[in-house]
Amino acid sequence: MFVKDFKKNFYDAIQNQRVLVLVSFDVDALCACKILQYHYTPSENYSQRMLVAMVTCVVSVSVPDATPLCGSPIHHCQKAWVSGLEDLERAFVENSEGIKHVVMINSCATVDVVEMLQPPSTPGFYISDSHRPVDIHNVFNAVQVKLLMKEEELTELPEYDEVFRDDSSDEDSGNESDSSDRSGKKRRFDEAAIDRRREKRLWNENRNKVIFDYTKFTSYGTSSSLLMFEMAWKMSKDTNDLLWLAIIGVSDQYVHFKTPRDKYMDDVMALQSHVARHNHRGDDEENLISINCLKIVFDEELTLTMYRHWSLFESICHSVGMACKFKVWTLKGQKKLNEFLAEMGMPLNQCKQKFSAMDTELKGNIKGMIQDQMNKYGLVMQDIVIPSFSAQYGYRNKLCATDAVYACCAVLEGTEKGKTPNDCFLDAVDILTRSNVAALEKGLELAKRQLKAVVTQVQTFLDMHQVISAGPFLYALIQEGTADVKFFSKVNCLIRLARFTLEAHCSVSRSKKARTLPLVLGAPLNTEQGTTLVIGIPPLELDDERKNFFGKAFEQAASSTNSRTHHDYFDSHVMEMKTDDRSKFFDALLNLLQT
């Protein structure tokens, strides 16, 4: 059931109650969790402080009593971490004792949560999840499941009567017919029974078709952090810090290609009004603002990855759009890029040093200099700028929202030896704490390593002609033993690699069909267990929709070949499989998509 009034039917309902908070392993979910926890800081009374103590720690986190996420004392804290559906079940079983309310952030909307968890009592499940489609049982469960999302986004939701029916009337009718049968009306009863069975069979066939049509594509809705911020705003509890968290959550969807550009623009426009409200200062107030005050600015941001924390040259080479336009992995492309920078009036020695060390005049004119030359080099405005936000506190360099996403995600999916998922989650929380500059800088450096690994792998794919056309789709496989392969065992990094690979392949392919083909990408996951991580992304031609059909396709291909696959991720277009079954699985997928 959809929650209409978040304050009345969610916030007020869970106050002074034991609450289990389960959070997915992504940046948007982490931001939403921090916004939610802000409401339970010990600022009102003792019972409110006790509520903070009762809020259990997030999925993928084990929070010690001395270092709570929200910065307030947390006692008797239940600990759990999960990376998929099975771990989520385990976390629920281990932490659900005495729990009356369970809040799920970016998890479980696409599955029947009551059927999956089989709760022994009747806790209330509050689901704030951007994954689509939402399972029909969650939508029509008016007792246990409350959906914290925008109902108007679910435009293709089937009607209740199309997917549920009450068969008790059939049984009652049958009992009456038995009585009639004993009265000598057996023939009429048989005909009625046949008609009922035929009608039920047709209804079931139609139900299966309706459900298949509803679930055949996966997509994403409004980010959970934005919804949590809007709840805070309606309760007059929003702050600039919470606004920045919502901005990072929306930017996370953009960075990882979850929502189309139009949807991102709508969310940015909604956030921009809040930015103007929280960051408007009069002339008299300007000198009274503390230098440590967070300031958020809305502007057209260059689509150059982390350029303020890198060199301009490196940033261009590691940004998907610009890198693919210039084909920087080739000698000809490098030469063309050098010519572009020269015609901009940008000396190469300036471009290759750290951005913060460049001449002030050059730094301030980069956007205009690029725009002056874009037509000559086949660039369009969408390749160069995108509306975004940047934050600044103190005298430090500005931090763009997308840069914060890269840094946070790199730490969240850390591969450092000795680091547990719990450690990675807590480190990512530190990055979202604006006073922890050291953690942010460490995250930015790790993000650069990831991006370098992505570009190196893309160049390997293209140089070795490893992006293969299977007819209805493209596929590429990362070989075992590849340098930095550890990065690609993580979902978000592998998604960015897949997108970069697809755009790079389309930029060099002579076939006009390339942009109409989706890509399947596989990476070694666990060599000892012989498993591969496989993801599928839609073609560039459908970029305005960002709908993915690989979830159902993967399930059907695996089922038809008895391939040993594991569909445990919250994103159905991501799965694990036994490396030995890869060949027959791809053959089945080929046959399936050709029909």
Tell me the pLDDT tens digit for each residue of 284-333: 554 445 556 888 999 999 999 999 999 999 999 999 999 999 999 999 99
List, in sequence order, the alpha helices (H) in 55-122.
85-95, 113-117
Boundaries of domain holding 574: 464-594
pLDDT over 50 (residue 57): no
- With cut-offs at 50, 70 and 90, classify the pLDDT of residue 67: very low
pLDDT over 60 (residue 26): yes
User: Do 470 and 446 lie in a common domain?
Assistant: no
Q: What are phi and psi of 549, to 5 degrees?
A: -105, 5
The pLDDT of residue 94 is 84
What is the distance between the alpha carbons of residues 591 and 595, in angstroms, rounded to a whole number? 7
User: Do 421 and 547 lie in a common domain?
Assistant: no
User: Do 440 and 513 lie in a common domain?
Assistant: no
The total number of structural domains in the chain stands at: 3
pLDDT over 60 (residue 46): no
Helix, strand, coil share (%) of the chain residues, nearest 5:
55, 15, 35
What is the distance between the alpha carbons of residues 552 and 556, in angstroms, rounded to a whole number? 6
User: Do 393 and 502 lie in a common domain?
Assistant: no
pLDDT over 70 (residue 251): yes
Report the CATH number at residue 489.
Answer: 3.10.310.40
- Nearest-Å Rg of the Cα atoms of the chain is 27
User: Do 534 and 585 lie in a common domain?
Assistant: yes
Distance, C-alpha 400 to centroid of its chain: 19
Q: What is the pLDDT of residues 136-185, one digit of tens each?
A: 999 999 889 999 999 999 888 999 999 998 765 555 554 544 544 555 56
Mean pLDDT on 438-463 = 95
What is the distance between the alpha carbons of residues 477 and 462, in angstroms, rounded to a whole number? 12
The pLDDT of residue 396 is 64
The pLDDT of residue 324 is 94
Tell whether omega for the bond before 133 is within 30 degrees of 0, i.e. cis.
yes
Mean pLDDT on 365-382 = 89
The pLDDT of residue 56 is 39
User: Do 524 and 391 lie in a common domain?
Assistant: no
Q: Among residues 401, 426, 452, which one ends one of the domains?
A: 452
pLDDT over 70 (residue 71): no
The pLDDT of residue 182 is 55
Determine the longest span between alpha carbons in the chain, in angstroms: 101
The pLDDT of residue 103 is 93
User: Do 476 and 538 lie in a common domain?
Assistant: yes
Are the beta carbons of 309 and 390 closer than 8 angstroms? no
Asked if residue 573 belongs to a domain, the reply is: yes
Q: What are phi and psi of 529, to 5 degrees?
A: -90, -10
pTM of the model: 0.89
Mean of pLDDT over the chain: 85
Are the beta carbons of 352 and 341 closer than 8 angstroms? no
The pLDDT of residue 453 is 96
The pLDDT of residue 434 is 79
User: Do 447 and 309 lie in a common domain?
Assistant: yes
The pLDDT of residue 140 is 94
Asked if residue 473 belongs to a domain, the reply is: yes
Distance, C-alpha 398 to centroid of its chain: 25
In the DSSP assignment, the letter for residue 390 is E
The pLDDT of residue 501 is 97
User: Do 374 and 492 lie in a common domain?
Assistant: no
Asked if residue 440 belongs to a domain, the reply is: yes
